[in-house]
Amino acid sequence: MNNHNSLFSSSTQNKFISATNQIWRERLDPGSAREAMTMAQIGGVSDSLARVLAGRGITYPIMDKFLNPRLRDFLPDPSILTDMDKAANLLADAVEAKQKIAIFGDYDVDGASSSALLATYLRDVGIDYQIYIPDRIFEGYGPNTEAIHTLAQNGSHILVTVDCGSTSYEPLAEAKLLGLKTIVLDHHQVNHELPAADALVNPNRHDDISGLDNCCAAGVVFITLVALNRELRKRGFFEQRPEPDLIACLDLVALATVADVVPLTGLNRAFVTQGIKIMHQRTRIGLRALIDCSRLSGPVETWHLGFLLGPRINAGGRIGDASLGAKLMMCQNEKEAETIAAKLDSLNKDRQAIEHTMVQEAIAQVEAQLSRTITEPKIIVTHQADWHAGIVGLVASRLKERFQRPAFAFAVGMEGSGTGSGRSITGVNLGSAVRAAVETGLLIKGGGHAMAAGATIEAIKIAEFERFLEEHLSQSVTDASAEHVVPIDATLNASGATVDLLKDILRAGPFGQGNAEPIFAFASHTLVECMEVGSGGHMRIKLKSNDGSTLGGIAFRASGQPIGQALQKAKGKTLHVAGTLHIDRYGGKERVNLRVMDVAFPA
């Protein structure tokens, strides 16, 4: 990397104004800079990769393990999870007895992937199963008694809930009355009192010391299948038949891990690294159809899972048939897979149109509220009667991004209740606050994890819920927002942003939550092109350095926002730009593209 100190010398640091009023700060402190030098000189990696590694807390002794994350190095003994041995034995008993198993999943990517993951294993060992994904609007999140009666009537002996069930007291009690054995495989926040399941495997339960609380549900299901496979092997089940290929299922685990925005560290990072390798083989018919339908060029990358594949699977649960995602991932017929993928793609387009309208209405609500208050709220809560309940989570996400604070959005139904979803910022545990609101009786039901939560509330109590969140979370929001900083990994020239450089840096990936994507600053470049593209307010730019080299970039949803306004004023002028780098393969040619995060003007 070149000129990485050019913006941060004593003569230049902070002598510029950022469009988003953030401070640009060099990520490496003196200690981590020395560690980067050690990795480069002794470890034999490039200076650029060494700086990225050191900026993420990686040291020379663990460098090789980090760069080559093998599953066997991170996968623990499944028995470390509370109730895991109970769950494995119950499932092994059912497999040996050839009993039908019901899988009750959530309607998002993690729920669909978890359902398909367990169903794939059961299919491979010759066990009959049924998958039930509830309708988001009419049934809501988690098991319900009517659905459980249906599953029992269809001949299931065991009920396994995946990505839900940890707070489903009445439905699981009803299942036991019907004679069903119940197993919960989940990762959401739990209460001290647990439902009456025969086995409840959740690394977030209070008596679990596994340290796997960052896993998504699909990760928990995969570990459960490792335990089940071990138990069946111990019982001699595979003496006359081959064992299922668990590694081949890591594509589903990777998809869920990225889409559920859990930290990409340790075991999760190994899941994603190995899972993407499986995706490159294109063996899962449903995912192959979805990849092709998404018009994805080149090999699958981590960001594709969260921004191209995940939203299409989620679209079924948001505004269409919630079971489509799991059906697609279980599909064994090419034509059927293509039909389902096309349907999800169409639903995703419809979802985008609905989302755009709702986001504009929500922003107007918030801006009107802010104009009326002297003290700005730390938490944003919006609601409206005609909003689509399946889209409120996306609205909350957009509000969080725009206003840089936790946000909730509620769709209020005619019956007087609100269905809402919230998104948080790093350092603010929204899920625990929602669980506390449930325990006080303020919410009808609710749950989630640190970064995302859902809730159902009487509409007349929404204002009270807003006050509750302010009281419980305002200090943590203040602490998390104390200083808005853009951490810069290095300063580059346009000519230095090469495909080879980026491919080298990508060895430190996959990047995401918990493993921050490197941010580069391009100092004193001329903005030679700037235009709005598409219908989402995106702005395409081109930068030119003093040596005449150029770099293309895009600022997503920037039009009318501080970054977009700054870019419009800067055309033909010199400015600093910070962002992340990606490989663009449009037209079959690889080139580096910049995704703009902030811009600043020299003093």
The answer on pLDDT for 296 being more than 90 is: no
Query: Residue 80 falls within a domain, yes or no?
Result: yes
- 183 burial level (CB within 10 Å; 0-12, 13-18, 19+): buried
Q: Phi-psi region for residue 155, left (φ > 0), alpha (ψ -120 to 50) or beta?
A: left
Phi, psi of 65 (to 5 degrees): -65, -35
- Do the beta carbons of residue 162 and residue 104 sit within 8 Å? yes
10 Å CB burial of residue 240 (0-12, 13-18, 19+) is: exposed
**Residues 6+ away with beta carbon under 8 Å from 30:** none
Q: Name the average pLDDT for the chain.
A: 93
Q: What is the spatial distance between Cα 342 and Cα 336, in angstroms, rounded to a whole number?
A: 10
Do 91 and 237 lie in a common domain?
yes
Residue 546: inside a domain: yes
Whether residue 559 sits in one domain with residue 500: yes
Residue 65 is assigned to a structural domain of this protein: no
pLDDT digits 0-9 by tens, 467-514: 999 999 999 999 887 767 899 999 999 999 999 999 999 999 999 888
Write down which residue in 443, 458, 480 finishes a domain.
480
Residue 161 maps to which CATH number? 3.90.1640.30
DSSP string, 247-270: GGGHHHHHHHHHHTT---SHHHHH
pLDDT of residue 530: 95
Q: What is the pLDDT of residues 62-85, one digit of tens each?
A: 999 999 999 999 999 999 999 999
E strand or H helix at 26, and its extent?
strand 23-26
pLDDT of residue 16 exceeding 80, the answer is: no
Which two tokens mark 226? 């490792």
Q: Number of folded domains in the chain?
A: 3
User: Which candidate, 120, 118, 130, 112, places its Cα nearest to that of 224?
Assistant: 118
Verify cis geometry, omega within 30 degrees of 0, for the bond prior to 69: no
* Span 343-379, pLDDT tens digits: 999 999 999 999 999 999 999 999 999 988 888 899 9
The verdict on 537 and 588 lying in the same domain is yes
82 and 130 part of one domain: yes
> What's residue 483's pLDDT?
67
One domain, residues 207 and 106? yes
Contact by Cβ (8 Å): 558, 532: no
How much is the average pLDDT of 243-258?
Answer: 97
Find the mean pLDDT for residues 121-127. Answer: 98
Domain span at 435: 373-480
In degrees, rounded to 5, the angle at the alpha carbon of residue 388 between the alpha carbons of residues 385 and 390 is 140
**DSSP character at residue 496:** G
pLDDT of residue 586: 78
CA gyration radius for the chain?
25
The pLDDT score that the predictor gives to residue 192 is 87
Regarding whether 204 and 81 lie in a shared domain, the answer is yes
Nearest CA to 509 among 176, 182, 269?
269
Report pLDDT digits (tens) over 384-443.
999 999 999 999 999 999 898 999 999 998 888 999 999 999 889 999 999 999 999 999
Q: In this structure, is residue 387 part of a structural domain?
A: yes
Residue from 305, 367, 313 nearest 337 by CA: 313
pLDDT tier, 11 (very low <50, low <70, confident <90, very high otherwise): very low
Residue 201 lies in a domain: yes
| pLDDT over 80 at 15, yes or no | no
- The number of residues in the chain equals 603
Is residue 338, in this structure, part of any structural domain at all?
no
* Residues 189, 219 share a domain: yes
Which of 451, 480, 509 terminates a domain? The answer is 480
Q: What is the mean pLDDT of residues 559-586?
A: 93
Alpha carbons 602 and 9: distance in angstroms, whole number: 14
For the chain, percent of residues with pLDDT exceeding 90: 86
Whether 4 shows a pLDDT value over 60: the answer reads no
Verify that 424 and 454 share a domain, yes or no: yes
Residue with tokens 């499944």: 78
**pLDDT for residue 59 is more than 90:** yes
Q: Given this model, what pLDDT does residue 9 score?
A: 56
pLDDT of residue 322: 94
The band of 8, judged by pLDDT with boundaries at 50, 70 and 90, is: low
* Inside any domain, residue 275: no
Residues 163 and 93 in one domain: yes
Same domain, 463 and 515: no
Here the tokens at position 198 are: 């025969």
pLDDT mean over 203-227:
97
Residue 144: half-sphere exposure toward Cβ, Cα within 13 Å:
13
47 plus 160 within the same structural domain: no
> Does a structural domain hold residue 417?
yes
Long-range contacts of 447-451 (CB under 8 A, 24+ apart): 447/141, 447/166, 447/167, 447/188, 447/189, 448/188, 448/189, 448/422, 449/187, 449/188, 449/189, 449/204, 450/424, 451/261, 451/423, 451/424, 451/426, 451/513
Tell me: do 41 and 189 sit in the same domain.
no
